[in-house]
Amino acid sequence: MVKSGSKLIETMVFIEVLYYPTNLYKLLARSAKISWGLSPEVIRTIYVAVIEPTILYAASVWAAAASKITVQKQLNAIQRGFAQKICKGYRTISLNAALIIAGVLPLDLRVQEAAKFYEAKRGRPLEHLDGGDLADREIEEKECFLKALHPASEEDIVFQCLENTDPQTLEEYHIVGNMIFTDGSKIEGKVGAALSRWLDGREVEHKKFKLEPYCSVFQAELYALWRAVEMATTHEVTNILSDSRSSLELLKNQREFHPLAVKIRKTLRNLRTQNKTVKLFWIRAHAGVAGNERADELAKEAALKMKVKSHYDRCPISFVKNKIRQSSIAQWDRRYQEGSTAETTKVFLPDAKIAYRFVRKARLTPTMVQVLTGHGGFADYLCRFKLRTEAGCFCDPDIKQDIWHIILDCPKFGKRRFELEMQINLQLKKENLSTILFDNSYRVPFTNFCTIVVKHIAALNK
């Protein structure tokens, strides 16, 4: 049977994207071993910067194929090797355990992510995000460069940094005329923006604006700047002061086509053609400047108290990307929980969502990976692979020497275990291990104990 055109394209693209990563892994395997060679962070960088982008090439074309078992097996075969190298684990550990400890999402889920993100950027409705509440929302896309001002018409936008943080700064720089302070705030999951116009040392006008909860503080800051520039159309001289340096830097960059930035630039150009003066300033936040503190207060009020239709509701790309990632992690967690492998790892890391955030910060050593997987220099493990004739422990040949016996029960390490329990004020039991590992104050003494014990056992079993 001849495959249809779309199926043939999917197959050809998939074969092409797998060829290079497979060959690269063969080279990497020679220079990255458990106890020597490339560090985990170097391997992770190679994987994230080279392998994933190569495999995700044209993901929107063949994403449907990633749901097939045969395709997933081929993706898993490639990813397993890299995940094991990243976490410095034994080659016998399962893919489930390797991915969790390495903090790497399954490749088939990454393919689906890339395809969804591509479709979202192209304007596809967002019914698959946030329970469908965003289905009618528009994504904040960059303006087409054709709609922007012609480079010959663009004027350089500059802003002055008021480095001194005391209220007298404004007088030192001889700022006179209208001063409009802008600010944005995200508090308790709500977003607001505000501006406050001052003249002769007192507030004469203020405005508050509400944004959708999914909007970012950066959007709120830019929106407040735009409304301030609009307010400047009714005055001859206006000084706009913002504590968002990133927003002001964005305005300076003529190659950035953020929709709000484009609107601000066009409005500023129109004001200059009308011989009106607008000066931009950056001031430090919470430095005691009354106008800035007032704008901050108004922005928080707008976020928390305003009961009106949102003044700005464009959904930022960063929010869409974050929601897609959360959905992928939730799928990964279900797969991890339902999998029949990684039983030892699940005791220490029972939740993929928490583990994904944890493993990068914890910087687990190869010795600790042996503890988390149960694959190491233990008699039970060595016996499985015919490297030792007996699986019994030195303390009692009838007791299996696995990771649980070593760290929880073996009398050879009773004194160290008791000292650890006194130090963390918690008993070493299976049900407490995840709590100990995730707590910063418990983790260091626990990992020190495990390192000493595992290295000692490995030396005896050589």
Q: Are 326 and 215 in contact (CB under 8 A)?
A: no
Q: Kindly list the domain boundaries of the chain, sorted by start residue.
A: 5-124+324-340, 159-314, 376-460
The domain over range 159-314 is classified in CATH as 3.30.1280.10: no
Q: How many CB atoms lie within 10 A of CB 325?
A: 16
Tell me the per-residue pLDDT of 410-429, one tens digit each, with 9 for 90 and over. Answer: 999 999 999 999 999 999 99
Tell me the per-residue pLDDT of 321-345, one tens digit each, with 9 for 90 and over. Answer: 888 999 999 999 999 999 999 999 9
> What's the pLDDT at 180?
94
Residue 438 burial (C-beta neighbours within 10 Å; 0-12, 13-18, 19+):
middle
Is 433's pLDDT higher than 60?
Answer: yes
> What's the pLDDT at 79?
92
> What's the pLDDT at 3?
45
Mean pLDDT of 23-44: 80
Tell me the per-residue pLDDT of 307-321, one tens digit each, with 9 for 90 and over. Answer: 999 999 888 888 888
Name the percent of the chain lying above pLDDT 70.
Answer: 88
Tell me the per-residue pLDDT of 381-398, one tens digit each, with 9 for 90 and over. Answer: 999 888 888 999 989 889
> What's the pLDDT at 157?
84
CA dihedral for 70, 28, 462, 97, sign (positive or negative): negative
Tell me the per-residue pLDDT of 249-280, one tens digit each, with 9 for 90 and over. Answer: 999 888 888 899 989 988 988 888 888 889 99
Tell me the per-residue pLDDT of 204-217, one tens digit each, with 9 for 90 and over. Answer: 999 999 999 999 99
Matching residue, tokens 């053609």? 273
> What's the pLDDT at 343?
94
**Confidence band for 16, pLDDT divided at 50, 70 and 90:** low
The residues, any chain, with a CB within 8 Å of residue 243's CB and separated by 6 or more, are: 183, 282, 283, 284, 285, 292
User: Residues, the chain, total?
Assistant: 462
**Residue 14 in tokens:** 């998939």
Mean pLDDT of 61-76: 89
Q: In what order do the strands lie in the sheet with 190-199?
A: 159-162, 277-283, 237-242, 178-187, 190-199, 202-211
**Confidence band for 131, pLDDT divided at 50, 70 and 90:** low
The residues, any chain, with a CB within 8 Å of residue 63's CB and separated by 6 or more, are: 111, 112, 114, 115
pTM over 0.75: yes
Q: What is the dihedral of CA 258, 264, 267, 272, to 10 degrees?
A: -120
> What's the pLDDT at 164?
60
Q: Which of 94-98, 130-134, 158-162, 171-175 has the lowest mean pLDDT?
A: 130-134
> What's the pLDDT at 6?
55
Q: Are 220 and 208 in contact (CB under 8 A)?
A: no
Q: Which long-range contacts (CB under 8 A, 24 or more apart) does 434-443 make?
A: 434/347, 434/348, 434/349, 434/350, 437/348, 437/349, 437/358, 437/362, 438/354, 438/358, 443/362
Look over the chain and give the mean of its residue pLDDT values, rounded to a whole number: 86
Mean pLDDT of 83-89: 92
Q: How many CB atoms lie within 10 A of CB 264?
A: 25
> What's the pLDDT at 328?
93
